[in-house]
């Protein structure tokens, strides 16, 4: 009797385990990788954004009736760790696709992994043009507007400045190098009279602002292109203000209008810089109003650009899987090429030719209000309006 009860109990236990496993198998799992410990000013709002998206998706029935689960890992700002995380997510967790990454060199590392392992990768933030062009592959798509797109937006305003003598300050790694190169190229096309009189390449996250500011001042440029961000930007601005570097000089700056990087400047915010950014407080559209209301209701906080990126990354991933009707990689690629979807900034499309989304950016000027940095005179630039022709892209991107 005891033996029979034992086996009956064991059978029920196995049956229950099977049912549980079957239920779990219905979940759609997405792997997410980012530099949470290295860059919390961006990645914490980014995490809140994608968590909001997951909640909304599951509350509305999931993806084709299946619950969405995001499994997240921290890459610590190291490409090798990002690839290890990607491998664990794919081989151990069985995720349907990979998403995320912030730094451009890490984005390229995960893209290379995706290409080798034939895994779908939706790059959220890395901005280097190489992600979709020179090192692009069939498995990698990108959400954020690239360096080329943001440079083209900034050059539109910068080329109208009277300044002829320019200097650059940029972090010495893939993102900074890519941003400076494409800005110079696009500026030369509109202003062949420009002269580049100095370049400063501080290590990312370790700027020694004093010598950098001194070197630029000695070159005596009329305008400066800045690509530093985060704590490096704060140090540069503080030292530049102290030494009068920005007085009487035009400054054009990637990303500085994003709250993650503008807010810490507080009353040290320089006025009149031409920047890309996210003036969440002055965007008046139904799409953004809905996102803002939901974000503030959930977190009792205002969004940063990272919030938008995290939110739209997971929304895009869900839209792609829903359209594919499957988590088969080839079917998701086919679904993603040319897919259009709503976003807090309006409708966006992932282009078939290079897998770049047409999400745009805001361009405006820095100012101070009540002792805080803000963006003024901001206007939204649609990403599709700042991309090269298909013929040019075909030359830039290897054939899959």
Q: What are phi and psi of 76, to 5 degrees?
A: 60, 15
Together in a domain, 190 and 255: yes
Together in a domain, 274 and 310: no
Taking only the tens place, the pLDDT of each residue in 378-394 is 999 999 999 999 999 99
Strands (E), 165-221: 165-169, 195-200
| pLDDT score at 26 | 83
Together in a domain, 192 and 269: yes
Q: Is the dihedral of CA 314, 127, 258, 268 positive or negative?
A: positive
Taking only the tens place, the pLDDT of each residue in 324-360 is 999 999 999 999 999 999 999 999 999 999 999 999 9
DSSP state, residue 362: E
Together in a domain, 226 and 297: no
Is 184 within the bounds of a domain?
yes
Taking only the tens place, the pLDDT of each residue in 236-254 is 999 999 999 999 999 999 9
Is the pTM higher than 0.85? The answer reads yes
| pLDDT score at 24 | 45
pLDDT band at 138 (very low <50, low <70, confident <90, very high): very high
Together in a domain, 111 and 141: yes
Q: Among residues 140, 111, 107, 145, which one has the least CA distance to residue 126?
A: 107
Q: Look at residue 15 and tell me whether its pLDDT is greater than 50.
A: no
Taking only the tens place, the pLDDT of each residue in 207-226 is 999 999 999 999 999 999 99
Together in a domain, 265 and 322: no
Say how many residues make up the chain. 400
Contact 232, 253 (CB under 8 A): no
What CATH number does the domain containing 314 carry? 3.40.50.2300
Quick count: other Cβ atoms within 10 Å of Cβ 64? 13
Average pLDDT over residues 164-177: 97
**What stretch of H or E contains 366?**
strand 361-369
CA distance 304 to 313: 15
Q: Look at residue 1 and tell me whether its pLDDT is greater than 50.
A: no
Q: Which residue has the tokens 């800005």?
A: 183
Percent of the chain clearing pLDDT 90 (strictly above): 92
8-31 as b/e, with b when 16 or more CB fall inside 10 Å? eeeeeeeeeeeeeeeeeeeebbbb
Together in a domain, 256 and 374: yes
Q: Give 196's Cβ-side CA count (13 Å radius).
A: 13
Q: Mean pLDDT, the chain, as a whole number?
A: 94
Contact 227, 233 (CB under 8 A): no
Strands (E), 228-333: 250-257, 274-277
Together in a domain, 56 and 180: no
Residue 189: burial class (beta carbons within 10 Å; 0-12, 13-18, 19+): exposed
Quick count: other Cβ atoms within 10 Å of Cβ 4? 8
What is the domain count for the chain? 2
| pLDDT score at 301 | 98
CA end-to-end distance (rounded Å), the chain = 65
Together in a domain, 313 and 293: yes
Q: Which residue has the tokens 């997510």?
A: 89
CA distance 95 to 71: 8
Q: Look at residue 75 and tell me whether its pLDDT is greater than 60.
A: yes
Q: Look at residue 19 and tell me whether its pLDDT is greater than 80.
A: no
Q: Among residues 350, 359, 347, 355, which one has the least CA distance to residue 385?
A: 359
pLDDT band at 12 (very low <50, low <70, confident <90, very high): very low
């Amino acid at each position: 009797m005891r033996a029979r009860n034992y086996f009956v109990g064991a059978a029920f236990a196995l049956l229950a385990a099977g049912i549980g496993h079957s239920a779990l198998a219905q979940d759609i799992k997405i792997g997410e990788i980012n530099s949470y410990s290295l860059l919390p000013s961006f990645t914490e709002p980014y995490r809140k954004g994608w968590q909001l998206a997951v909640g909304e998706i599951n509350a509305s029935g999931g993806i084709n009736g299946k619950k969405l689960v995001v499994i997240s890992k921290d890459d610590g700002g190291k490409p090798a760790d990002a690839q290890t995380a990607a491998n664990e997510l794919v081989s151990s967790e069985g995720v349907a696709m990979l998403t995320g990454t912030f730094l451009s060199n890490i984005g390229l590392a995960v893209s290379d992994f995706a290409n080798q392992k034939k895994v779908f990768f939706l790059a959220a933030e890395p901005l280097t043009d190489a992600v979709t062009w020179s090192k692009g592959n069939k498995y990698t798509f990108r959400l954020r507007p690239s360096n080329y797109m943001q440079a083209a937006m900034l050059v539109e305003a910068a080329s109208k400045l009277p300044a002829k003598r320019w200097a650059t300050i940029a972090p010495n790694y893939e993102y900074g190098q890519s941003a400076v190169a494409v800005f110079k190229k696009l500026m030369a096309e509109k202003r062949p009279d420009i002269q580049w009189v100095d370049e400063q390449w501080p290590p990312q996250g370790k700027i020694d602002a004093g010598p950098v500011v001194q070197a630029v001042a000695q070159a005596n440029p009329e305008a400066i292109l800045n690509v530093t961000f985060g704590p490096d930007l704060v140090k540069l601005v503080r030292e530049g203000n102290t030494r009068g570097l920005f007085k009487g000089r035009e400054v054009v700056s990637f990303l500085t209008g994003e709250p993650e990087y503008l807010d810490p400047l507080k009353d040290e915010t320089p006025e009149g810089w031409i920047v890309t950014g996210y003036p969440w407080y002055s965007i008046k559209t139904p799409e953004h109003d809905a996102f803002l209301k939901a974000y503030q209701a959930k977190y009792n906080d205002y969004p940063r650009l990272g919030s938008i990126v995290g939110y739209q990354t997971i929304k895009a991933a869900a839209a792609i899987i829903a359209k594919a009707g499957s988590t088969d990689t080839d079917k998701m690629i086919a679904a993603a090429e040319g897919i259009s979807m709503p976003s807090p900034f309006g409708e966006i499309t992932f282009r078939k030719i290079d897998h770049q989304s047409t999400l745009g950016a805001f361009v405006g000027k820095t100012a101070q209000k009540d002792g805080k940095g803000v963006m003024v005179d901001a206007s939204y630039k649609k990403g599709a309006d700042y991309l090269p022709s298909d013929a040019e892209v075909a030359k830039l991107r290897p054939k899959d």
